[in-house]
Amino acid sequence: MTAETPPSAAMVPGRASGPPDRYEQFMRTVRRACVTSGGRAELRQGLADGLVSPWQMYVHLLLAGGIPAHSQTREAEFPFLLVASLYAVHDAPNPRTARTKPQPVPPRADRRKNMGWSYARAASGGAMKQKAAGDALSYLAQLDLEDLYRDLPGAISLLRSQRVPVHWPVLLRDLTRWPRWAEDVRIEWARAFYAPAPASVRTTEETSS
């Protein structure tokens, strides 16, 4: 399968799911949708509209490859739309300049680079104080799914405004797991924040981010 092959159905996420391949595939779809000014604009507008009527988002995403086939309901597809719109707002390059300044291919997603990892980066890099970062992570981790959807855009906006990286495939994987395995996700976030990787591993990760 090439890097630009449209996504297909894969294993339903769960406790034992492996690297987030299906989520990386979907993010490739999102990047293709954002190549045009209209596509990026519609995905961005979806977030501004609260994803209430995301018809145009569907049009551009379906043309670019679609949402994984086993996400058959609007409820199951919501996290895909949310992450697509967040990426379009915060990380999608301007289509007018992308042709002359091609973006590097993102590194393979690492499940450890979750929201806990992002907040750890915010604290270690000086974007947030350690306590503030821990409190912000704890607040998100205690939310139910509906409230998490509501508050996540603001949290992401703050992180990205400070140039703290967010790994979109990992975030998407965690959101799709939240309804059934929220406690597992919370523990993974806590481990990433409070027990960062050893220095040798961290150095390797920093050079690939």
How is residue 36 written in tokens? 């045009």
* Domain match, 124 and 184 both: yes
Classify residue 50: in a domain, yes or no.
yes
* Domain match, 202 and 124 both: yes
Classify residue 1: in a domain, yes or no.
no
The pLDDT tens digits along the chain (209 residues) read: 333 333 333 333 334 344 468 899 999 999 999 999 999 999 999 999 999 989 999 999 999 998 886 666 888 899 999 999 999 999 999 998 766 666 777 778 889 999 999 999 999 999 999 999 999 999 999 999 999 999 999 999 999 999 999 999 999 999 999 999 999 999 999 999 998 555 444 444 443 34
C-beta separation of 18 from 76 below 8 A: no
**pLDDT for residue 198:** 53
Q: Final residue of a domain: which of 70, 98, 126?
A: 98
**pLDDT for residue 51:** 93
* Domain match, 69 and 126 both: no
* Domain match, 127 and 68 both: no
Classify residue 180: in a domain, yes or no.
yes
Q: What is the pTM of this model?
A: 0.82
For the chain, where are the alpha helices, taking DSSP H only? 21-33, 37-48, 55-64, 74-90, 95-98, 115-124, 130-141, 145-161, 168-194, 199-208
**pLDDT for residue 10:** 34
**pLDDT for residue 102:** 67
Classify residue 9: in a domain, yes or no.
no
Task: Give the whole-angstrom CA distance, residue 96 versus residue 177.
Answer: 36
Packed helices 55-64 and 21-33: angle between N→C axes, nearest 10 degrees = 110
**pLDDT for residue 15:** 41
* Domain match, 88 and 126 both: no
Classify residue 190: in a domain, yes or no.
yes
* Domain match, 151 and 191 both: yes
Identify residue 176 by its one-letter amino acid code: T
Containing structural domain, residue 32: 21-98
Task: Give the whole-angstrom CA distance, residue 157 versus residue 163.
Answer: 10
Domains of the chain: total: 2
**pLDDT for residue 121:** 96
Classify residue 11: in a domain, yes or no.
no
Task: Give the whole-angstrom CA distance, residue 170 versus residue 106.
Answer: 13
Classify residue 170: in a domain, yes or no.
yes
Residue whose token pair is 């059934």: 180
